[in-house]
Amino acid sequence: MSRKRLVEARSPEYEKLGKKIAHCREAMDLSQAEAAKLIGIPQGTYSGYETGTRRIKLPMLQQIANAYNVTVDYLIGTGPAVSGFNTLSEAEKDLVIKYRAASPAIKEAVIKLLE
């Protein structure tokens, strides 16, 4: 990839999108390598998405949103991650993201704990 292409891809919008993607990954306690594997792409490509140096096509953006159980609107900053998400604190949002990424056994244990 040429240097010119890297410069063209970097924009405030892509950097903001990358920060949202990184936030979702960190909320799930994943490394970039683990997240890339989950999504099915090379780690270098994933890193480029988080830093805003690589453009993301819509199908890939949907794939990333699905992997993190959030909406595309949330990733691009135009809507909530899930319905009713805007009324939650940042800590509550992190918990929702982690819960949605948890295994069924973990979800069941959390529900039992809260009952």
For the whole prediction, is pTM greater than 0.75? Answer: no
Domain 3-114, CATH 1.10.3720.10 — does that match? no
Cα–chain-centroid distance for residue 101? 11
| Rounded distance between C-alpha atoms, residue 59 and residue 65, angstroms | 10
How many other β-carbons are positioned within 10 Å of the β-carbon of residue 32?
15
> Where along the chain do its domains lie?
3-114
| Rounded distance between C-alpha atoms, residue 42 and residue 84, angstroms | 33
Per-residue pLDDT tens listing for the chain (115 residues): 445 444 455 688 899 999 999 999 998 889 999 999 999 999 999 999 999 999 999 999 999 998 988 889 989 988 766 655 556 788 888 888 888 888 999 999 998 998 8
Dihedral sign for Cα atoms in the order 101, 107, 113, 115 = positive
Q: What is the rounded radius of gyration, in angstroms, for the C-alpha atoms of the chain? A: 15
